[in-house]
């Protein structure tokens, strides 16, 4: 197994143990602020305001996923609507991200459609763009159906995400083409079995560039979500060679990760957005960040030792 994928698999496996979760939640909360804007919407808006001052736009995301009952899904929807209304009042670009499982996708696609429809009815007239996040592989099919259904109902300020580590993604890309999607391209951060996903980082990176170039050739607007300097440089070279203007795509990174690179790209004239998560349900998000780089695990260990 590729060492990077072995590391990620190990971290996600250990992080799933209840005793580890309790330890991190009680002793490493200081580390959370490196990657999470805070637990309240007000804290997240302050972070977004500061990023705007640096030329970096914010993608605001209320943390939470995989709800267990309809009441919880409806409660999440109310908080997402609160986010949409708050963002709509800001003078900077209006952009939010949400997970289908927050809105009850695991319970019923009909429920998820109903709740997402109500969010989009609030967001679209206010000029708020909504990105429908992609979760782990069992939820991909339902998420794509949800996206297509909303587009067929006439909602245009809705984007989708594709993950380059899944075998199925190129087929999904061509299935989505008739919808002319605003596409966020990511490598993928979930622990997936080798039957459905590449485990070799070189192949994942190659697929990332392959899919991104296909999308640009098709004239789609693509958000390249990566911190990898090599991949960023290749996207820039390809776009320049193909005569694609900087306005035809963008780069997206995570809040707290390579902020200097975010500012530098913005200064070069590229659109750059930082994914700004907030909320009390931060543990699953944090574990996926830890699993991305061994350096992040060292930060956790230092935080635990320091209390």
For the chain, the domains span 37-281
Task: Classify the phi-psi angles of 90: left when phi > 0, otherwise alpha if psi is within -120 to 50, otherwise beta.
Answer: beta
Q: What is the model's pLDDT at position 66?
A: 85
Q: Considering the domain delimited by 37-281, tell me its CATH architecture.
A: Alpha-Beta Barrel (3.20)
Tokens at 284, concatenated: 């699953």
- 119's enclosing H/E stretch is helix 109-123
Among residues 133, 136, 172, 205, which one is catalytic? 133
Q: Is 113 a catalytic residue?
A: no
Q: What is the pLDDT of residue 7?
A: 66
**Given 8, 113, 139, 184, which residue is catalytic?**
184
Task: Give me 36's structure tokens.
Answer: 């999470």
| Chain mean position to CA 116 | 17
Candidates 229, 230, 134, 135; CA nearest to 183 is 134
| Count of Cβ atoms closer than 10 Å to residue 171 Cβ | 10
CA distance 191 to 206: 19
Q: Across the strands, what pairs with 220?
A: none
Model pLDDT for residues 78-117, shown as the tens digit of each residue: 999 999 999 999 999 999 999 999 999 999 999 999 999 9
Q: What is the model's pLDDT at position 288?
A: 72
Q: Does residue 281 have an active-site annotation?
A: no
If phi > 0 it is left, if psi is from -120 to 50 it is alpha, else beta; for residue 185 that is beta
Q: What is the C-alpha to C-alpha distance for residues 79 and 93, in angstroms, rounded to an integer?
A: 20
pTM: 0.88
The pLDDT value recorded for residue 306 is 57
Looking at residue 304, its pLDDT comes to: 52
What pLDDT was estimated at residue 8? 64
Give the residues of the chain that fall short of pLDDT 50: 307
Cα torsion angle, 187, 99, 47, 53, sign: positive
User: How confident is the model at residue 302, as a pLDDT?
Assistant: 59
């Amino acid at each position: 197994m590729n060492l990077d994928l072995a590391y990620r698999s190990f971290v996600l496996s250990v992080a799933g143990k209840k005793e580890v979760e309790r330890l991190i939640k009680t002793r490493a909360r200081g580390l959370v602020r490196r990657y999470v804007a805070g637990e309240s919407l007000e804290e997240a808006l302050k972070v977004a305001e500061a990023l705007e001052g640096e030329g970096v736009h914010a993608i605001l995301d209320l943390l939470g996923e995989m709800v267990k009952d309809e009441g919880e899904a409806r409660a999440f929807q109310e908080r997402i609507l609160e986010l949409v209304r708050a963002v709509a009042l800001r003078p900077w670009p209006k952009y939010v991200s949400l997970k289908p499982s927050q809105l009850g996708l695991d319970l019923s696609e009909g429920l998820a459609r109903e709740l997402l429809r109500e969010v989009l009815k609030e967001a679209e007239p206010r000029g708020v763009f909504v990105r429908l996040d992609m979760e782990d592989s069992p939820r991909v099919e339902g998420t794509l159906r949800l996206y297509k259904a909303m587009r067929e109902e006439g909602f245009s300020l809705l984007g989708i995400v594709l993950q380059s580590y899944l075998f199925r993604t190129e087929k999904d890309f061509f299935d989505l083409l008739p919808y002319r999607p605003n596409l966020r391209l990511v490598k993928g951060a979930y622990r997936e079995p080798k039957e459905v996903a590449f485990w070799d980082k070189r192949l994942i990176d190659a697929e990332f560039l392959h899919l991104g170039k296909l999308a640009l050739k098709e004239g789609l607007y693509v958000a390249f979500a990566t911190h990898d300097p090599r991949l960023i440089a290749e996207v820039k070279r390809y776009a320049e060679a193909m005569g694609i203007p900087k306005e035809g795509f963008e780069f997206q990174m995570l809040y707290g990760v390579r902020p200097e690179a975010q500012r530098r790209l913005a200064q070069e004239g590229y659109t750059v957005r930082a994914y700004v998560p907030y909320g009390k349900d931060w543990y699953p998000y944090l574990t996926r960040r830890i699993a991305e780089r061994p350096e992040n695990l060292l930060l956790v260990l230092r935080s635990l030792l320091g209390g």
